[in-house]
Structure 1
């Protein structure tokens, strides 16, 4: 069966075979379009995943900065503890919770500041802590400044492997 069509004086003939071929080409075009879209969506998903990972790493750096400045403010609010050298060389191995609620000495207040600070940093990540978080305070005799350091581990991925790499934020404070 042939259909005759006249357009602007030109007669075109449409046969069922040519209609079938046209439908097949449309189906291939749709299939190619779906494949291209699928590849595009996979690329978009990988960008989203990379963005989420970078946001987490940025969050850890922000928290480390906040915690270092928090301890500097704790030191500034206890000038008697600074005069008594209570903040020199604080490490997490020498911390205990002093049970003084109102009548703390300057040294006990410094110890309490360090203990509370350590509990915040090494708390669970969902509660604002840092993964494998730790902190320390060192005193530089030459400059007379305190170096407050906050450390944590961060997952770094490359093409072959993923590794936990230690990260450290240090803040030098002259009080």
Structure 2
């Protein structure tokens, strides 16, 4: 007669449960990390979208306000047009600026219409205020490009981007952008 020994394994189900809990916890941490990165990248994409929209907003304002009458006056008018929309300075001065136009050139303005110079001043002030409201550390920079056949501008929108740990190479040198400032520049021919 043979004896059959019945040996049971004890505790294996507890170990399996503990291993599965560890695996699930690691998976959940990975998902949480993915969600955090998605939110961070969504914020960056939103800021860039706002910057693009702001740059094109100013370009539309500039095109609407440029005046060309006679071909023989083109050079003088071009210089005047370029001068009224030039907006230079460092990032620090642009960011800290308080922009309030001298006159309100909207449709609800007083009976006297604004001149093209007043409209340009109004456009730049509204644009800078909009950048300050829409972008973290938002500021703008507009400079004419020399040596072009038509009025050409570089319109630069700047904002703080917390994930940027260097000086953005796309920022113009004249704006003296510090570390963490992102720049978006379009070249506009009017």
Question: Aligned runs of 1:118-137 on 2, under 5 Å?
Answer: 118-123=128-133, 129-137=134-142
Q: Distance in 1 between matches of 2:143 and 2:155?
A: 7
Structure ranking higher on relative contact order (CA contacts 8 Å, 6+ apart): 2
Aligned counterpart in structure 1 of residue 146 of structure 2, from 130, 141, 147? 141
Which TM-score applies when normalising by structure 2? Answer: 0.70
Unaligned runs of 5+ in 1: 1-10, 124-128
8 A contact 2:85–2:124 mirrored in 1: no
Aligned pairs, number:
151
Shift of 1:122: 0.2
For 1:154 and 1:12, locate their aligned partners in 2 and report how far apart those are by CA, in whole Å. Answer: 73
Structure number with the higher strand fraction is 1
Q: Say if 2:84 is the partner of 1:97.
A: no
Q: Tell me, what secondary structure is at the counterpart of 1:142?
A: coil
1:75–1:87 contact (8 Å) kept in structure 2: no
Partner of 1:60: 47
What is the DSSP-based 3-state SS (H/G/I as helix, E as strand, rest coil) of the residue aligned with 1:33? helix
Matched residue, 1:156: 163
SS in structure 2 of the partner of residue 77 of structure 1: helix
| Unpaired segments ≥5 residues, structure 2 | 69-76, 89-93, 166-177
Q: State the TM-score, normalizing by the size of structure 1.
A: 0.76
1:59 Cα offset (Å): 0.8
Q: Which residue is 2:121 aligned to?
A: 111
Cα shift at 1:164: 5.9
